[in-house]
Structure 1
Amino acid sequence: MATGLLKPKDLKRLSIDPDTEQALVYFLSLVEEISPIVALDKHNTIRFATASFQKEFRSRPTMIGADLFSILRLDSKEEENLKENLNKSRHTKLQNQEFRKGNKFYGYTAFPFGNSIGMILKDISQNKKLQKKVANLHTKVLASQEEERSRLARELHDGVGQLILAAKLHFQAFQKSAKDHADSFKSGLGLIDRASQELREIYTNLQPSALKELGLEAALTSLTTGIFPLQKIKIKTEFKVPEKIPQIVQNQVFRILQEICANILKHAQADKVELRIVSDKNTLVVTTKDNGKGFREKEARIKQTGFGLENIRRRVEDLNGTLFLESAPGIGTTYVLRIPLKQRSKEKI
């Protein structure tokens, strides 16, 4: 069996026709550049290794005849798992396997090859990092869902639930003695009206009816006039919203501004807010400004107490839009969103 990779120059010593020689040169050059490949005997001794394998795991001038594990130098757990898989691969092909070497991850396929074992490897470290980011994002999404469920539970229990309980007590008192508790029935009805109003506020926050029935401008007017004046914050608005906007754009823009308004109320300590929405050709331009205390964006993104900024960025990206954010301690915060109103045309392939 060959103990190394045949070089193109070695073909000169072989009695083969020019066309075959050209094909073999091309093949050998191709093998040199693809993923690391190694062949092992039954003792896991390297009998063949491509140049890419030797480059990836370089530890000595030649690897031929060396023990694979003396080259890889894995920790005991990874080595044990790889040995077990190599033994299995003597009888069947194993795909989508992996091992870790230091800070790197390698995926590999191992398969029987005559009396040897063949391995094709690939550095999958970047893939593992992306998988970790996706997993972290999934965890954040689940945490956000749980937080929202908890918020709704508190609102229902502390608000609607308490009002209904109070109404029930009034009705029971009236039922027990209408004469002694003549006003209880009227008070109970008043409490039911308040509970109904709170329920409307809860489901309006989940899916504003004004957004679907009257459009983005009406929904935002309701949102801003409903929260800022109560906190003694002056709100200045300028809305020049096109009549026909895709519903998905309306929904996402409303949620983005809902998030921005919530951030202003929670963190900004502002007393003036400006909200402007205009259209520039086929682009919706949304601008918000506040005169609050501001923040350092990098620090806000690092904090684990919330990810409102990340939510805003992702919603803008989902709409193929751009986000400009300017903020610093003492100067307030400005958001400028540019959202295309038409879908991007698909490129011809």
Structure 2
Amino acid sequence: MDTTAPSLFLAILIACLIVGVLIIFFTATMLRYQKKNLILYKAKLAAEITTLEKERTRMAEDLHDELGPVLAGIKLKLNSLDLPEPRDKAMLDKVHFDIVALINRMKDISNDLMPAVLIKKGFVRAMEITAEEMNQHKGLEVHFSADDIPTLESLVSVNLYRICQEILTNTIKHARAKTLSIHFERSGHLLILTSVDDGKGFDHRVASSQGSGYGLMNLHNRTEMLGGELFVESTPGLGTKYRIEIPFSL
């Protein structure tokens, strides 16, 4: 009896099994490697963002605690001067005006770096004030609303605030919107932040295929750091909707 054919078939079968095992092993190894890299990337990203926020806080405190009193002292000394010459008095008034403008600008920069109300009152109150200020100065009608949200950790509050800042910036710079509505709520074990504008919108599929812009990348990075997901809905001419879902537990 000729056993060549069965032996050949068995050899091919064994070879296929070996190749299959090698492919499965290689695929599993690559998946583990990618998962490890993703974990390391997220850890690095979290460390970079945390360091950035600490530096922002330090700079804001330095401006407020060190430069602020110096400028206020200069302003008081200028106010105490009594110059009889009209020309000198006019120059003094001009310097006084510039000092006041510098103090106000310094307060704005300090607030942009790390709003004091965000640290003292939390995310919701900080956003209420931001919306009020935007409505007064930026030409964009901003509506912010929030459900009754428990106290959030500082890291969560800061990153949610930065996410909203990025959405506001993107809307002002690119959307040409008249109104922007932002709502913050808790649903089960999720914190949900939703924003909707009536701007020009964009083709999200095209933007994703070409690589996200810096603003959209920031939104993704901040959301990922909090372990959440970012959903974007946008169509040319129909505005843009962002939905951020972040896991939350008491």
TM over 0.5: yes
Contact 1:282 1:342 in 2 (8 A): yes
**Match of 2:10?**
none
C-alpha distance in 1 between matches for 2:211 and 2:219: 16
Q: Structure 1's 282 and 200: CA in aligned 2 closer, same or farther, altered over 3 A?
A: same
For residue 185 of structure 1, report the CA deviation from its aligned partner: 2.4
For residue 178 of structure 1, report the CA deviation from its aligned partner: 4.8
Which structure has more relative contact order (CA 8 Å, sep 6+)? It is: 2
For residue 287 of structure 1, report the CA deviation from its aligned partner: 0.9
Give the one of 180, 198, 222 matched to 1:315: 222
**Match of 2:122?**
215
**Match of 2:166?**
259
For residue 241 of structure 1, report the CA deviation from its aligned partner: 4.3
* Letter of the structure 2 residue corresponding to residue 308 of structure 1: G
Q: Structure 1's 278 and 195: CA in aligned 2 closer, same or farther, altered over 3 A?
A: same
Give the one of 82, 85, 96 matched to 1:189: 96
Give the one of 179, 187, 204 matched to 1:280: 187
Contact 2:181 2:197 in 1 (8 A): yes
Contact 2:177 2:200 in 1 (8 A): yes
* Letter of the structure 1 residue corresponding to residue 175 of structure 2: A
Instruction: Give runs of aligned pairs for residues 123-138 of structure 1, distance below 5 A.
Output: none
Contact 1:228 1:235 in 2 (8 A): yes
* Letter of the structure 1 residue corresponding to residue 234 of structure 2: S
* Letter of the structure 2 residue corresponding to residue 324 of structure 1: F
**Match of 1:198?**
105
Identity, in percent, stands at 24
For residue 307 of structure 1, report the CA deviation from its aligned partner: 1.9
* Letter of the structure 2 residue corresponding to residue 335 of structure 1: Y
Structure 1 gaps of 5+ residues are 1-8, 10-28, 35-51, 56-121, 146-163, 344-349
**Match of 1:250?**
157
Q: Secondary structure at the match of 1:235?
A: strand
Instruction: Give runs of aligned pairs for residues 32-111 of structure 1, distance below 5 A.
Output: none
Q: Secondary structure at the match of 2:237?
A: coil
**Match of 2:199?**
292
Contact 1:238 1:276 in 2 (8 A): yes
Report Cα offsets for 1:90-118 as digits up to 9, x if no partner.
xxxxxxxxxxxxxxxxxxxxxxxxxxxxx
Q: Structure 1's 33 and 209: CA in aligned 2 closer, same or farther, altered over 3 A?
A: farther
Q: Runs of at least 4 residues of structure 1 off by over 3 A?
A: 301-306
Quote the RMSD (CA, aligned, Å).
Answer: 3.9
**Match of 1:331?**
238
Give the total of aligned pairs. Answer: 195
Contact 1:217 1:241 in 2 (8 A): no
C-alpha distance in 2 between matches for 1:317 and 1:236: 26
For residue 236 of structure 1, report the CA deviation from its aligned partner: 2.0
Q: Secondary structure at the match of 2:88?
A: coil
For residue 328 of structure 1, report the CA deviation from its aligned partner: 0.8
The structure whose Rg is larger is 1
Q: Structure 1's 241 and 247: CA in aligned 2 closer, same or farther, altered over 3 A?
A: farther
C-alpha distance in 2 between matches for 1:293 and 1:241: 32
Q: Secondary structure at the match of 1:334?
A: strand
Structure 2 gaps of 5+ residues are 1-6, 8-13, 24-28, 53-70
Contact 2:134 2:142 in 1 (8 A): no
Report Cα offsets for 1:190-239 as digits up to 9, x if no partner.
32121111111112111111100111112112222223442322222212
Contact 2:146 2:185 in 1 (8 A): yes
Contact 2:191 2:248 in 1 (8 A): yes
